[in-house]
Chains A and B, each alone.
Chain A
Amino acid sequence: MMWLTWRQFRGAAATTGAALVVLAVALALTGPELASDYSAGITACARDGGCGQFFDRFFDDYQAPFQAATVIVLLLPALAGLFWGAPLVSRELEAGTHLLVWNQSITRTRWLAVKLTVVGGAAVAAAGLFSLAVTWWSAPLDKSAAPGFTLMDPLVFGARGIVPMAYAAFAFVLGVTAGLVVRRTLPAMAVTLAVFAAIQIVMPLTVRPHLLPPVSSAFELGPENVDSFGKSSDREFPEVVLDSAIPGHTGAWVLSSRLVDPSGRVVGGDGAPVTVRVSVTSGPCAPSQQAQEEGRGMDGCLAEINRLGYRQRATYQPFERFWAFQWIETGVYALLTLGLTAFCFRWLRRRLS
C-alpha cells in the first residue's frame, strides 16, 4: 500500500519538493545579507540613537519579500487541502478505482490510514519546512516590523513557527473529508477552499483573542500610541487618533485601543478620531506655544492631555505569549484534524460502497 500511495503521489511530491528547493535557495541567498544589514544598522543606531527610524527604513526596504514569504506560508496549507486532500479519495471514487484497490487483500481502513499518513505527513512536513525557512529568514524583519506586521498580528502569526503545520494537517484532512462526502473532485476542492478560508478568518477574529485572557491596562498618551492629533477650523477642540500600539509593549497584539476621558468613561477610539477637551487657545496645546518650543513638537501638549486625565485603555495580548499562542492554536487545529480523521474512517466504513 505504501508503494501504491507513493506511486500515485510522487508527481505532486516532486513539484512541491522543487518549489521548496527554489524557495530555500532564494532565502538562503538573501538571508545572511538581511541579517548582517540588520546587525550593522542596530550597532549604528545604538551609537547615535534613532533606532526607530532605522527599523522603519529597514522594514520598508524589505517589505515586498517579507510579504511574499508570509503569503506563501499562509497559502501552503490551503494548497495542501485543495490539491492533495480533496482529490485523495474523490479521484478514486470518480474513476471507480477504489473498487479495484478495495478488492485486493487490504481493508479499506488500512487503505485510508496509509494514504492519510503518507500524503498528510508530506503536507505537514512541507508546511513545517516552509515555515521554518521563512521564520529563520525573516527574524530580523520580525524584530523591526511596523505595527500590524509583528509576530503576534494575525497575518504574520499564521505564517511563523509551528502553526502552519497544524493548518496544513487540518486543511489536508478537511479536503479528504470533503472528497469522501461530496465524492467528486472539483466540488470537493471548492468546499475545501470555502470552509478552510472561513475558518482561517473566523479563528483570528473571534477565537484566538480569547485563547488566553487578554490583558487590559491604561496607558498615558505619547508618540507611540498617538497616530495623529489635530484640530479642524470649525471645531472648538482638537481630535486625536490612537494607534493600535501601546507604549513599552512592542510587538503586542492590540485588540482594542480606546480613549477614556478624565472621568474614566470610554469616549471612542479603535482608529476613529476622538475629541479631546483641551484648550487650544492657551496652554501647551496652543499653536503659539507649539511655535515657541520648536522641536519638542507635540510632547508638551500630550503631557497636558495626560495631566487632564485622558488615557489610552488597551486590551492586548503581550508579545511574550507568542509561543504559548502557537502551541495552543496548534493544539486546537490538531484536535480538529483528529476529529475529522475519525469522521473520515467512520464514513468510509458506514456510508461508502
Chain B
Amino acid sequence: MIGRSAGPASGEPMTPVLRARGLGRRYGRRWALRDCTLDIPGGHVVGLVGPNGAGKTTLLKLAGGQLAPTEGSITVLGGHPASGAAQQARIGFVAQDTPVYAGLSVADHLRLGAGLNPGWDAALARERVERLGLDPAHRAGRLSGGQRAQLALTLGLAKRPELLILDEPVAALDPLARREFLQGLMEAVAEHEFSVVLSSHLVSDLERTCDYLIVLVDSRVRLAGQVDDLLATHHRLTGPRRDPDRLPAGQHVVSASHTDRQSTFVVRTEDPIHDPAWTVSRLTLEDLVLAYMEGPAPAQGRPVLEVRR
C-alpha cells in the first residue's frame, strides 16, 4: 500500500473532499444510485469498489459535475460539482475507457490541455510524456491501450487538481500496463499531494494503491473506512457450529456460513476476541470486500464481485 502516507496531512482531521447526503440519481425509472450518504476525507487514495452496475460510475459522475443529482446533495472540495469552470479546474477526471482524440497527436493533446486549463503544468506533462516514451507526433488513435490510458492520466495530472477522480481507469488494460498505470499514479500522488478517488471492480487493483475503501453494492454504500482500520477490526472466526445470535454484543456479523459441524463468521469488532473455541484469522482486503458483498444482502440475483488475481 504505497499511498498510505502520501496524503498532505495524514492523521489530521481533514475537511471531506466529497460529502454526499441522501444522494440519488435516477435514469428513467431505474435508480442508479440511491440514498448515498458519505464523507470521503481528504488526503487519501480512495478505492471505490463494487460489482458492475452498483452505481460507481454514477457516483463519480455526480462528483465530477457531469450529472446532476435527482435527490439529495453532493459537495466536492466544499463546492457544488457543476458550479462552473473554477470548480472544474480543481477536479481532475479520467473517464472510463480513458477516451482520447484519435485524430490528434500526443503533442496536440498536451496543447489542448494547456489551452483549456488555467493551472496547467506544462513541465509535468512534457516530462511524463518523455518518461513514458511517447512520441509527441504520434497520433493518439494509434497508441496502445496502456499508452492511451497514460496519456489521459497525464492530462488529468498536469491539470494539477486537488482531487483526481478515475473511473475504472485500468479495466481494459493488461496486467503489466495496469501496474505501470497505477505506479505512475502513485508516484504523482507522492510528489504532488492530492486526493484520489479510484473506482474498480477488481479488489486486487485497489489493494496495492488505496488506503481508504468504499464498498458500493446495489447503489448503496455498504462499507467505508481506512483500509488499516478495516483490516484491524475485521476477523474471520472458525469453530464449532454456533448460532450468530450467541456471539458477544460487540461482534457484528458481516457474513456467516455453516457446515454441519462448523461455522465461519466474518465479524467486525473493536474488542479483542477471547473465546478459545474460535480460530481467529486475519482477512485480506479481498476477503473483506467479498464478505460485505455476500453479507446481509437482501437482493436476489445481483451481480457478484469479480475477483481476479
Contact = CB atoms under 8 A, between A and B. Distances in A.
A28 B306 CA distance: 69
Interface string B74-100: 000000000011101101111111011
B118 A105 contact: yes
Contact of B156 (A4, A7, A103): A103
Interface string A15-28: 00000000000000
Contacts of B102: 95
A295 interface: no
Given A7-B108, A110-B85, A105 B116 contact: yes
B113 A96 contact: no
A57 to B, nearest CB: 52
Interface in B112-159: 112-113, 115-119, 152, 155-156, 159
Interface string A91-106: 0000111011111111
B119 A4 contact: no
Given A110-B85, A353-B66, A353-B67, A1 B115 contact: yes
Nearest to B151: A100
A105 B117 contact: yes
Contact of A3 (B86, B96, B111, B155): B111
Interface residues of A, number: 21
A178 B156 CA distance: 31
B89 A105 contact: yes
Given A1-B116, A97-B101, A105 B159 contact: yes
A100 B88 contact: no
Contacts of B172: none
B85 A105 contact: yes
B143 to A, nearest CB: 14
Nearest to A11: B103
Interface in A100-140: 100-107, 110
A248 to B, nearest CB: 60
B55 interface: no
Given A97-B100, A100-B152, A107 B84 contact: yes
A105 B88 contact: yes
A171 to B, nearest CB: 24
Nearest to A104: B116
A129 B86 CA distance: 40
Nearest to A102: B66
Contact of B112 (A96, A99, A104, A353): A104
Contacts, number: 74
A106 B111 contact: no
Nearest to A111: B116
Contact of B66 (A7, A95, A99, A106): A99
Nearest to B115: A3
A92 to B, nearest CB: 9
A105 B89 CA distance: 5
B252 interface: no
Contacts of B66: 99, 102, 353
Given A105-B85, A105-B88, A99 B99 contact: yes
Contacts of A99: 66, 93, 95-96, 99
Contacts of A8: 101, 103-104
Given A4-B115, A97-B99, A104 B108 contact: no
B64 interface: yes
Contacts of B96: 96, 99
A97 B151 CA distance: 13
Contacts of A1: 115-116
B61 interface: yes
Nearest to B61: A353
Contacts of B86: 105
A95 B104 CA distance: 13
A102 B61 CA distance: 11
B105 to A, nearest CB: 10
B115 A103 contact: no
A107 B88 contact: yes
A104 B117 contact: yes
A90 to B, nearest CB: 14
B161 to A, nearest CB: 9
Contacts of B95: 96, 99-100, 103
Nearest to A103: B93
A95 B97 CA distance: 10
Contacts of B64: 103
Contacts of A103: 64, 88, 91-95, 156
Nearest to B66: A353
A109 to B, nearest CB: 9
A91 to B, nearest CB: 10
Contacts of B103: 8
A106 B99 contact: no
Nearest to A352: B66
A353 B62 CA distance: 10
A2 B115 CA distance: 9
A99 B118 CA distance: 18
Interface string A275-314: 0000000000000000000000000000000000000000
21 contacts: A1-B115, A2-B115, A4-B112, A7-B108, A8-B101, A8-B103, A96-B97, A96-B99, A99-B66, A99-B93, A100-B100, A100-B101, A100-B155, A101-B116, A103-B64, A103-B95, A104-B155, A105-B85, A105-B86, A107-B88, A110-B85
Given A99-B95, A100-B95, A105-B119, 12 more contacts: A1-B115, A3-B112, A4-B115, A4-B116, A7-B108, A96-B96, A96-B97, A97-B100, A103-B156, A104-B117, A104-B155, A353-B61
Interface of A: 1-4, 7-8, 95-97, 99-107, 110, 350, 353
Interface of B: 61, 64, 66-68, 84-86, 88-89, 91-97, 99-104, 108, 111-113, 115-119, 152, 155-156, 159
Which A-B residue pairs are the 8 nearest by beta carbons? A96-B99, A104-B116, A105-B89, A99-B95, A103-B93, A105-B117, A4-B112, A353-B67
